[in-house]
Structure 1
Amino acid sequence: MDNENKNNNNVPKDLLVPLERKEDTSDKISRPSRTFMQDARRTFFKNKLAMLCVFILIIISIMSIVGPGMNDYGLDDQDLSRAKMPPHVPVLEKISWLGFDGTLTDEFKGKDIEEATKNAVARYGNDADFIDIKELDKGDGSAKSAEVQATYHIYEAKDMNDQYFWLGTDTLGRDQWTRLWLGTRVSLIIALVAAAIDLVIGVAYGGVSAFYGGRVDNVMQRILEVLVGIPNLVVILLMILVLQPGILSIIIALTITGWIGMARIVRGEILKLKSQEFVLAARTLGTSNGKIISRHLVPNISGIIIINTMFTIPSAIFFEAFLSFIGLGLVPPEASLGTLINTGFENLRLYPYLLVFPAVLISVIMITFNLIGDGLRDAFDPKMHK
């Protein structure tokens, strides 16, 4: 042992380097952990289709605000002399196949070319000087065998080449561009009201019913079952007997029955959560029932609430459009997508543009909301987080 100590003393001290003690990083987290909501937001932002729909919806919402002010025609600015004018857009009028050149085109039949041409001229008010005829089928002399295509330059015929109606005019000469975006605004307002009703009445009713349970839940659910048995259309008819058809009647009908689905979903989720340990701990600490519902239970089902709300909005838009289409919604001259579709349906064969634009817009709105709802559903699904 003494020899070993002597050998150690002979070792040069410059070879002895003190060992630096390093922190053990085997269990260290390389990056900060994210909350569930942060993970959901990250997953949603990665969904390119959902983000595209959000962008489209933002553009539509902005246009519903600024769109009616982009030209000089108001909601009630009507003139029968310019009724049923086709779309006429600057620059785009030079590209005829886009359909914005301000002409009306249709096909006419007759026994021969001469008769088919007369039918076309008669259809467009005998303005033969402004009608271009193109022969499609000369026929063989049989009944209605000849066919021509007639293009009517209505803006030239009415000396209105310097006027532009971007989406045409309706049967009373009102600008369709203005009415389309005003109608979109009305439909979005009703949709947002329906969502607010779901969030306020539906969440509160379902939460209270499930949390207190027992006799309270029994009574509240019996009331809910009575309301479920009342169709929305019946409620609307009752509102019309008391009030005038319009936005107020639709909002009242949604207030009476529109929140039932949300209430049932919230009740089912809170029934699963109210016996969890974190709720029992909150009760033990003396937290009031209202705070337990608002701070502990509702935040834990926020994902389901958001998703269900996003699917409620297109249903409300369709509900309003359906009521306006059958004459139980808004009353002209007020505009909504439903009233515009109704007007277009009545003139579908002769003036299809009156139906195409509002029908396409309401379809886009409903599709975007549904795809955003799908994106949120995936975002709030823990299995989808990576």
Structure 2
Amino acid sequence: MAGQHQKNEPPKELFVSHERKENTTEMITKPSRSFFQDARRTFFKNKMAVVSIILMIIIILMSIIGPYFNEYGMDGQDLSRAKMPPRVPVAENIPFLGMDGTLQDEFKGSTVEEATENAVMRYDNAEDFVDIEVLSEGDGSTDSAEVSATYNIYEAKEMTDDYFWLGTDQLGRDQWTRIWLGTRVSLIIAFVAAAIDLLIGVAYGGISGYYGGRVDDVLQRIIEILSGIPNLVVIFLLLIVLQPGIMSIVLALTITGWTGMARIVRGEVLKQKNEEYVLAARTLGQTNGKIIRKHLMPNIAGIIIINTMFTIPSAIFFEAFLSFIGLGIVPPEASLGALIDAGFKVFRLYPYLVFYPAVLISIIMIAFNLIGDGLRDAFDPRMHK
């Protein structure tokens, strides 16, 4: 029986020792990310926002170093080179770019000769340097003939070796230099406005929302009074004391510009101050100031950053508007708004004086708005994937 039992035993090689392995089905294989890391990852997925940031970095750098790119950088006015159109090496050979250093316009008259005479008179009577192309010979009636005139002003002024990349203004100042100097001024005003929003608006709104009660009532009545005063009225009052310029614009933004941020921060603090993490901080004995700084502000940082990014283009537009109506930057100082105002007065004759600063201010405002949109999506948890 013992021999038979041994014959029925399975071979030992069929038995394999079992190794106990740890269950890894619920193991986290990747490091966890914080909210701000998720926000950064979502932001960099937004290609338009990333391109806008790169563009703004380039513009900021150019506002610092751009005025020193040519030999006319810090030259003053020179009437001998006034109203020179843009002329750029290599680009002057590409007609549709409009950087060949010529002035072009169409002129009318009862005859071709009269239209031609009008063109020559318009271009300093420099007949030898005005190329005429007849568009319509007319039938002898009033202004029925039309010619296209091209004025080679660089040749007429014997400046064939000079290049003004964006032309010159009515006083002969290099537009390339003035545009970047104006961009610098506009950006300084915009960033000062953003700093005022952060320093005053965030602190004011945080205190008002956190303490509530009588403190909130008093602080909100003050905001309502300030918000009821139009910015232009503030500017006019400041002009009685100060001259138009950066200081008056900054003071106007200081008086009324931060109220919007204060209201937004107050609303967010009112929502957050009754959350469990604030109650836990109070239970642990932390002071009110520390709760606001260490707990509430980081949790509403997203809305603060987003609102700040939208404040910057608003401040740039505000400065441009004031300069355009003569209440902002005063010549010879330059800002984008002041340059547009100066060019607008001679727009029909020298459109390039308006075109380049207008394009630049549009790019800056669009870029900041796209960055703000990207940040808004980045700080929205529903957009995180």
Q: Shorter-normalised TM-score: what interval?
A: over 0.9
| Aligned counterparts, 1:265-280, within 5 A | 265-280=264-279
Q: Which residue is 1:281 aligned to?
A: 280
- Output the amino acid matched with 1:292: I
Contact 1:195/1:312 (8 A) holds in 2: yes
For 1:333 and 1:74, locate their aligned partners in 2 and report how far apart those are by CA, in whole Å.
15
2:130 paired residue number: 131
1:180 aligns with 2:206: no
1:295 maps onto 2:309 in alignment: no
Alignment deviations for residues 155-207 of structure 1 (CA, whole Å, 9 cap, x no partner): 00000011111000001000000000000000011111011111111000000
Matched, 1:53 2:52: yes
Q: How far off is 1:30 after superposition?
A: 2.7
Once residues 211 and 8 of structure 1 are traced to their aligned partners in structure 2, the CA distance between those partners, rounded to angstroms, is: 86
Q: Distance in 1 between matches of 2:66 and 2:25?
A: 60
Q: What whole-Å deviation, never above 9, does each CA across 1:280-300 have from its counterpart, x for those lacking one? A: 000000111111001110111
Residues 309-361 of structure 1: CA distance to partner in whole angstroms, max 9, x if unpaired? 01000000000111111111111100000110001100000000000000000
Give the drift of 1:7. Answer: 5.7
Deviation per CA, 1:193-229, whole angstroms, max 9, x where unpaired?
0111111110000000000111111111111111111
How far, CA to CA, are the matches of 1:148 and 1:206 in structure 2? 64
Q: Alignment partner of 1:134: what SS? A: strand
> How many angstroms apart in 1 are the aligned matches of 2:153 and 2:177?
21
Equivalent residues in 2 for 1:197-276, closer than 5 Å: 197-276=196-275
Structure 2 segments unaligned to the other structure (5+ residues): none
- 1:336 paired residue number: 335
User: Residue 71 of structure 1: CA displacement?
Assistant: 1.1
Aligned length: 384
Of residues 172-181 and 51-60 in structure 1, the stretch that sits farther from structure 2 once superposed is 51-60
**Cα pair distance change 1:8/1:331, threshold 3 Å:** farther
Change (3 A) 1:230 1:9: farther
RMSD: 1.6
Aligned mates of 1:282, 1:14 — CA distance in 2: 65
State the 4+ residue runs in structure 1 displaced beyond 3 angstroms.
Answer: 6-15
State the partner residue of 1:17: 16
User: What is the Cα deviation at residue 42 of structure 1?
Assistant: 0.6
Structure 2 counterpart of 1:196, which letter? A
Once residues 256 and 67 of structure 2 are traced to their aligned partners in structure 1, the CA distance between those partners, rounded to angstroms, is 33
Partner of 1:165: 164
Give ranges in structure 1 of 5+ residues lacking alignment.
none
- Over 3 Å counting, the alpha-carbon distance change for 1:7 and 1:320 in structure 2 is farther
CA–CA separation in structure 2 for the residues paired with 1:10 and 1:101: 102
Within a 5 Å distance, the mapping from 1:64-213 to structure 2 comes to 64-75=63-74, 77-213=76-212
TM-score (norm 2): 0.97
Residue 96 (structure 1) shift? 2.3
Write out per-residue CA displacement over residues 27-52 of structure 1, whole angstroms, 9 at most, x where no aligned residue: 11232221111111111101111111
Q: Is the CA contact (8 Å cut-off) linking 1:194 and 1:251 kept in structure 2?
A: yes
1:29 equivalent in alignment to 2:38: no
Pairwise CA distance, 1:257: 0.7
C-alpha separation between the residues in 2 aligned to 1:125 and 1:200? 56
Q: Partners in 2 of 1:76 and 1:150 — Cα distance?
A: 31
Q: For 2:279, give the aligned amino acid.
A: L
Paired residue type of 1:338: G
Q: Is the Cα–Cα contact under 8 Å of residues 75 and 174 in structure 1 kept in the other structure? A: no
Amino acid corresponding to residue 190 of structure 1 in structure 2: I
Q: SS of the counterpart of 1:210?
A: helix
Q: How does 1:284-323 map to 2 (within 5 A)?
A: 284-323=283-322
Quote the sequence identity (%). 72
Distance in 2, matches of 1:356 and 1:292, equals: 51
CA distance in 2, matches of 1:83, 1:56: 31
Output the amino acid matched with 1:142.
S
* Change beyond 3 A, Cα 1:133–1:214: same
C-alpha deviation, 1:12, in angstroms? 4.5
